[in-house]
Amino acid sequence: MSTFLQGPVGALTRIDGRTYDYFGGCGYLGLQSQPQVLQAAADAVLRYGLSTANSRGGLGESPLYTEMEETACAFFACEKVLTFASGYLGAAVLIQGEGQANDHFFIDADAHFSLWDAAAASNHAITPFAHCRPEALQVALQHELTAGERAVVLSDGLFPISGEVAPLPDYLEVLRNLPARLIVDDAHGAGVLGEHGRGTLEFWSITDERVSVSATFNKALGGFGGLVYGRRQALEHLERNSRVLAGSSPLPLPAAAAITQALRLLQVSPQLLQQLQANVRQARAGLEELGWQFPVAETPILCLPARGGLNLFRLREELFHRGIAVEFVNSYPSAPAGGAIRLAVFATHTPAQIERLLAAIRDVLRGQ
């Protein structure tokens, strides 16, 4: 089925001439179509144009980047933020920038493509370990890490399809007495996990200097582009050593302005995160009544794998007929074998929309 978006993506989204209750994608906070965010982007494009047509430094600097990075610093409560063209590049920025000749990568088997690609490009040894299993990491380290090597563990923070939060404290415990680092791709956690929505590190209260994190503005934060955040000294080291930062264009200027506005809104509107959490609880409770189970940590990604006799394609089609857009995913990192319906809960969904979704699924299950 081909689908064409005919308006901003949000809790209600226009697709092929019809308005749907929309539970797809990653705009968990609804910021990508928030009027003040759109206005900031529109004002910026008229005043500054689309891009600086230059890399950062020298003549490629813009006040919009400074403002965005200062606002992001305040949001993530860190000393420094570096931004670049896409979240996909985050792993490359960290791996290039922090790389040592003796690195040996230990990667969650279901980690995102960007982590695999960045590790592969480094030409160091790569050892996968079973998804979200600290004991498997421990065994892999015992068997594969050789004397003189540094272990670099790679994992998503919040997995994009399964909705699981990686057991990062357990990984750190496994790494306790080793020369080691942990690199986290927090594309889906940033903006939604933790008390202030700072992401998976805040969720687990991790402040360990061995941990580095990358994220994207393109999902919960409503914009576009990638970032790494952390301590000044560490990020200045990355700045000097990452070819990605030196050799790629920065974010589009309207995206930078939109991100600044989105982050400011988030800081003054904690109710957005609270509303998201309430919506997640409502959706999870209803789906649990229908027989699905979810990881303990509450996240806006709800994964409905196939189960006895349930045809997921049919479920998706039936929901579309009832005006509810959901996605079937089977070839993306962390999708279960056989695929799953992936539901994304937004802060901007109304309780009535979630109830409609639950009623529609109940109805389809009854008729199968």
Nearest-approach distance from CB 94 to ligand PLP, in angstroms? 12
Residue 166 is a binding residue for ligand PLP (CB under 6 A): no
Whether the CB-CB separation of 126 and 161 falls below 8 Å is answered with: no
Longest dimension (CA), the chain: 64
Q: Which is nearer to ligand PLP, 108 or 318 (CB)?
A: 108
CB of 167 to ligand PLP, least distance (A): 17
Binding ligand PLP (rule: CB under 6 A), the pick from 156, 164, 202, 298 is 156
Tokens in use for 341? 């319906």
Give CA 173 to chain center in angstroms: 24
Distance CA 269, CA 279 (A): 16
Q: CA 266 to CA 30: how far, in whole Å? A: 11
User: In the 8-state DSSP scheme, what is residue 303?
Assistant: E
CB 215 within 8 A of CB 229: yes
Closer residue to ligand PLP in complex, CB, 185/202: 185
In the complex, minimum distance from the CB of residue 363 to ligand PLP, in angstroms, rounded to a whole number: 31
Binding segment toward ligand PLP, per CB under 6 A, in 37-45, 83-91, 143-151, 203-211: 83-91
Q: Does the footprint of ligand PLP cover residue 250 (CB under 6 A)?
A: no
Copy the structure tokens of residue 19: 């308005």
* 212 sits near ligand PLP (criterion: CB under 6 A): no
Backbone angles phi, psi at 13, to 5 degrees: -135, 135
- C-beta neighbour count of 285 within 10 angstroms: 11
Site for ligand PLP in 110-139 (CB under 6 A): 112, 114
| 185 interacts with ligand PLP by CB under 6 A | yes
Nearer to ligand PLP, 134 or 160 (CB): 160
Tell me how far apart the alpha carbons of residues 110 and 56 are, in angstroms, rounded to a whole number: 34
Q: How far is the CB of 160 from ligand PLP (least distance, A)?
A: 4
Q: Which residues in this chain contact ligand PLP in the complex, by CB under 6 A? A: 86-88, 112, 114, 156, 160, 185, 187-188, 216, 218, 226
